[in-house]
Amino acid sequence: MDNIYWNEQLIRKYDLQGPRYTSYPTAMEFQPGFSHQEVFDAASVSRLTGRPLSLYFHVPFCARLCYYCACNKIVTKRREQAQPYLDELYREMTLQAAMFSRTQDGLARPVEQLHWGGGTPTFLSPAQMRELMGRTRELFQLLPDDRGDYSIEIDPREADDEILTVLREIGFNRISLGVQDFDPKVQKAVNRIQSEELTLHVLNKARELGFRSINIDLIYGLPFQNEASFASTVEKIIDFSPDRLSVFNYAHMPERFKPQRRIDGATLPTPQQKLSILRNTVDQLIRQDYRFIGMDHFAKPEDELAVAQSEGHLHRNFQGYTTRGDCDLIAMGVSSISMLDRTYYQNVYDIPGYSDILAQGKLPVHRGVTLNDDDVLRREIIMELICNFKLHFSPIESRYGISFREYFQRELHELKNMEEDGLVQFGSDAEGEHLRIHPSGRLLIRGICKVFDHYRIEKTTSFSRII
């Protein structure tokens, strides 16, 4: 299987719960009451570094409810709700730009990455999209000539030719299309009716307009899915030939996510069926030369993610895998999470609370965390493993002034069991001693990374299963 080796016995043994490690520490460690002053202090450090920026904007509105969804969203048909929210968002953008858009010396910091997520960002009208991107250009230095990595999440049911044309004109060059499954029975069960013809039309129009990268999202583990039906969806997606694919595991947690209560648990595939569906999907994609990037992401070999991973400089942040790991991530909108070198902070979840805090001239921050030296060390290790599947000890020792084997004695002892099971390999090369993830361990990378997670030792928290 190219860069994955499927070992069902090991998958059953190690398919436990674990974080997705879009950050370390994870959002579970964020503390309430994180102050505006703490953000201001972190911004001062950020301006001194002069690092480029990554901007995220959260648009929480959806016109339709998808029963599987666990996102922070507002389901409404009332499009007029968008403008008051955008007006509040512009107030936050002004505050954030004052702190982050320029270096300490007054030089504009380039925005190398930009992303609109949700919800459904295409809930906005074309005029509102132009306005939002225009305000962004006024406050931050966006890159010209498609030099930035500017992406947006799209519901094909909310993206006609006019909207796609507007998105391309205002600067987006990457799109991510939600599909989930083409089977009509599955679509009805999760309240997402979306034809193959519509999806293909949006994809083809995006290519015609010059979007340089297209991602498609699928979900396995939904009601009425089985090996044959999902394989049929994957075959159709392969024919569409997207640059990237995300194949997510549906985590059924109706006690936490109210929309999921509309899904009948008896209609879900069994754990064995889910494993079979995943194995078939991996087989199908690898046979078509898609490369396994990590966890549930695949990319064509010439895609930037695959190239970065092969060269050993892939990164990961709250937006997922990225080639722009040297950016400070500034996130705006309800529930969005910003990620600086040693500070992460999250906005409040609800629009009324968001507006009330902004009215006081403050950032609408709800909670956050400041990383200590051990956090920074463990973050580098976890991110190197989850992105590049290999870790050399000597650079870590030089950077942090430690003996790797002494500092991580407990972790290395735990990894011995994984080594015996063939998930990891210890070895050495010209660069010194290293830990490498074996192809049979790559699907279980979250569990391997969890060995280095200090906080998971101290507490048990409910996460989704690794597979």
Domain co-membership, 299 together with 434: no
φ and ψ at 292, to 5 degrees?
A: -80, 115
- 266-293 pLDDT, tens digit per residue, is 999 998 999 999 999 999 999 999 999 9
Domain co-membership, 281 together with 138: yes
Kindly indicate the confidence band of residue 319, based on its pLDDT and cuts at 50, 70 and 90: confident
Consecutive H or E run containing 213: strand 213-220
pTM for this model (two decimals): 0.93
Cα–Cα distance measured from residue 124 to residue 133, given in angstroms and rounded to the nearest whole number: 12
Answer whether residue 224 is part of any domain: yes
Answer whether residue 353 is part of any domain: no
pLDDT at 33: 87
Q: Which residue has better confidence, 20 or 86?
A: 86
pLDDT at 6: 81
> Counting beta carbons within 10 angstroms of the beta carbon of residue 431, is it exposed (0 to 12), middle (13 to 18) or buried (19 or more)?
exposed
Kindly indicate the confidence band of residue 324, based on its pLDDT and cuts at 50, 70 and 90: confident
pLDDT at 155: 95
pLDDT at 459: 52
Domain co-membership, 270 together with 207: yes
Q: What one-letter code names the amino acid at 160?
A: D
Position 18 pLDDT exceeds 80: no
Kindly indicate the confidence band of residue 261, based on its pLDDT and cuts at 50, 70 and 90: very high
Answer whether residue 98 is part of any domain: yes
Domain co-membership, 275 together with 131: yes
φ and ψ at 294, to 5 degrees?
A: 160, 140
Domain co-membership, 103 together with 224: yes
Domain co-membership, 298 together with 390: no
Min mean pLDDT across 239-253, 384-398, 444-458 is at 444-458
Min mean pLDDT across 2-6, 112-116, 298-302 is at 2-6
Domain co-membership, 318 together with 414: no
- Find out whether 39 and 368 touch, Cβ atoms under 8 Å: yes
Domain co-membership, 386 together with 309: no
pLDDT at 35: 87
Domain co-membership, 116 together with 60: yes
Domain count, the chain: 2
Residue ending a domain, among 332, 361, 386, is: 332
Answer whether residue 2 is part of any domain: no
**Sign of the dihedral through C-alpha 294, 297, 299, 303:** negative
pLDDT at 464: 62
Q: What one-letter code names the amino acid at 118?
A: G
Answer whether residue 5 is part of any domain: no
Residue ending a domain, among 332, 351, 380, is: 332
Residue 101 has what DSSP assignment? S
Kindly indicate the confidence band of residue 458, based on its pLDDT and cuts at 50, 70 and 90: low
Pairing of strands 53-59, 110-118: parallel
pLDDT at 463: 60
Task: Residue 433: give its domain's CATH number.
Answer: 1.10.10.920
Min mean pLDDT across 114-118, 322-326, 431-435 is at 322-326
- 142-198 pLDDT, tens digit per residue, is 999 999 999 999 999 999 999 999 999 999 999 999 999 999 999 999 999 999 999
pLDDT at 356: 97
Answer whether residue 350 is part of any domain: no
- Find out whether 422 and 7 touch, Cβ atoms under 8 Å: yes
Average pLDDT over residues 409-421: 94
- 296-314 pLDDT, tens digit per residue, is 899 999 999 999 999 988 9
Average pLDDT over residues 392-417: 96
Task: Residue 94: give its domain's CATH number.
Answer: 3.20.20.70
Structure tokens at 278: 């995943």
Answer whether residue 193 is part of any domain: yes
Position 14 pLDDT exceeds 50: yes
Q: Which domain holds residue 100?
A: 22-332
Q: Which of 178, 169, 183, 283 is nearest to 226 (CA)?
A: 183
pLDDT at 36: 85
Q: Which of 227, 262, 258, 242 is nearest to 179 (CA)?
A: 242
Position 466 pLDDT exceeds 70: no
Measure CA 159 to chain center. Answer: 22
Top-confidence range, 4-13, 316-325, 423-432: 423-432
Domain co-membership, 127 together with 185: yes
Q: How far is CA 440 from CA 16, 176, 315, 391, 448, in A?
A: 16, 29, 22, 17, 12
Position 1 pLDDT exceeds 50: no
Percent above pLDDT 70 for the chain: 97
What's the chain's Rg over C-alpha atoms? 22
Domain co-membership, 267 together with 182: yes
Domain co-membership, 180 together with 303: yes
For the chain, the average pLDDT equals 93
- Find out whether 14 and 444 touch, Cβ atoms under 8 Å: yes
Residue ending a domain, among 272, 306, 332, is: 332
Answer whether residue 10 is part of any domain: no
Residue 361 has what DSSP assignment? T
Kindly indicate the confidence band of residue 101, based on its pLDDT and cuts at 50, 70 and 90: very high
> Counting beta carbons within 10 angstroms of the beta carbon of residue 193, is it exposed (0 to 12), middle (13 to 18) or buried (19 or more)?
exposed
Structure tokens at 373: 């030296």
Min mean pLDDT across 123-132, 181-190, 430-439 is at 430-439
